[in-house]
Structure 1
Amino acid sequence: MYLFIIFAEVLFWVFVVLGLITRYMFGKKKLGGLLLLCTPVIDILLLIAVFITVSSGMEITTATGLAACYLGITVAFGHRMIKWADVRFSYWFGKGPKPKPKYGAVHAKEERTVWLLHLLGWAIGNALLLAIIVYVGDPQRTAALDGLMRTWAVVLAIDFIVSFSYTFAPRKNKR
């Protein structure tokens, strides 16, 4: 399962890069958009792999849980990651405007928004983890998932502290 998660992440970025190269370097906007639209297919394949693992009686490991986490994060951040890459490709290859770093209140708001997306990804991922736990109905088989949920809650709390700290101590332009 670990290899499948890595494969899914790599495949996600391969489709993003191919879509953007097709769009900006070859000027084929529709084909580039189609390649970008293929990224959710990767999530569906990963979801199928998790379902096969869970329903076949195979061992449920942290990797199974990480797949659920990956799905939650990709749903929450996928569009934003593609947009981030699109802005940079537009600048590098399509004569678009240079992306500008954010400072002060704008940066603080951005950090809070990203944390809210993390919260959304956490909620989706944990809903999937809970669905697996309920579906399996065997606490011994799903113990790794419980541990993963607790760990992710701690990471989310730390991310909250860091993200919202910018509200009180905004990032300054060093110029």
Structure 2
Amino acid sequence: MIVALIAACEIGFWVLLAAGLACRYLLRMPRTGLALLLCEPVLEVVLLVATALDLKNGAEPNWTHGLAALYIGYTVGHGHRTVKWLDGHAAHRLGGAPKPLGPPRHGLARARHETRIWLGTLTAAVVATVLLQLAIWYVGDPSRTTSLEDWRFAAWRAAGIHGLVALAYWIWPKKAPAGAPEDGPVVGKERVGR
């Protein structure tokens, strides 16, 4: 049941996102589009409540409950950035806005960019850990919650690996081609100054 609900929440996320962007830019109904986009967090609340009810009704804590916590954590950590990125591209393609700036490709600007993304992964790990710890306390039987503890470690392993990748951009920054400015966001294939 939980896996099907996670899949439904993921599909619902993309459906609400597409509908919200279509209302904002194709139908020229920005308030309706914004309302649809603001409904996205409701999906995570539904998943959280359903997972808690599943555990309350005596379900054996397993990998599906851990996956639900990681999914909610990922949405909290990276959902806003994803929606903002897609909104910028929809505004460009459908609303006539200028092309959104791409991530910096070189130097310290790229390292800062990768660190901001890693902070989203770190936030996801914290949220997943809190949810999993609450589930462990809620079940109250350490012999039944080992799979939930494994998911906690998985969240922190992912954050650690991502952190090492972000750190690599600081230690070994990619050099800009000769004559190109070191910092600044990318528009198309050209770098602009800050």
| Both structures adopt the same fold (TM-score exceeding 0.5) | yes
Contact 2:6 2:47 (8 Å CA) reproduced: yes
- CA deviation vs aligned residue, 1:131-163 (integer Å, no higher than 9, x gap): 100111112221111111112221111111111
Contact 1:23 1:32 (8 Å CA) reproduced: yes
Q: CA offset at residue 172 of structure 1?
A: 5.2
Indicate the residue corresponding to 2:185 in structure 1.
none
Q: Is 2:56 the partner of 1:55? A: yes
Q: CA offset at residue 99 of structure 1?
A: 2.6
Runs of 4+ in 1 over 6 A off after TM superposition: none
Q: CA offset at residue 34 of structure 1?
A: 0.6
Indicate the residue corresponding to 1:103 in structure 2.
105
Structure 2 unaligned runs (5+)? 178-188, 190-194
CA distance in 1, matches of 2:174, 2:21: 31
The one-letter amino acid of 1:21's match is A
The one-letter amino acid of 1:73's match is Y
CA distance in 2, matches of 1:173, 1:31: 43
CA distance in 1, matches of 2:4, 2:176: 41
Q: Is 2:137 the partner of 1:134? A: yes
- 1:7-22 matches, cutoff 5 A: 7-22=8-23
SS of equivalent residue, structure 1 residue 99: coil
CA distance in 2, matches of 1:128, 1:63: 13
The one-letter amino acid of 1:103's match is R
- Output the TM-score relative to the length of structure 2: 0.85
- Output the TM-score relative to the length of structure 1: 0.94
Structure 1 unaligned runs (5+)? none
Q: Measured at CA, do residues 88 and 173 of structure 1 come closer, stay the same or move farther in structure 2, by a change above 3 Å?
A: farther
Indicate the residue corresponding to 2:91 in structure 1.
90
Root-mean-square deviation (CA, aligned residues, Å) is 1.5
The one-letter amino acid of 1:153's match is W
- 1:110-125 matches, cutoff 5 A: 110-125=113-128
Paired residue total: 175
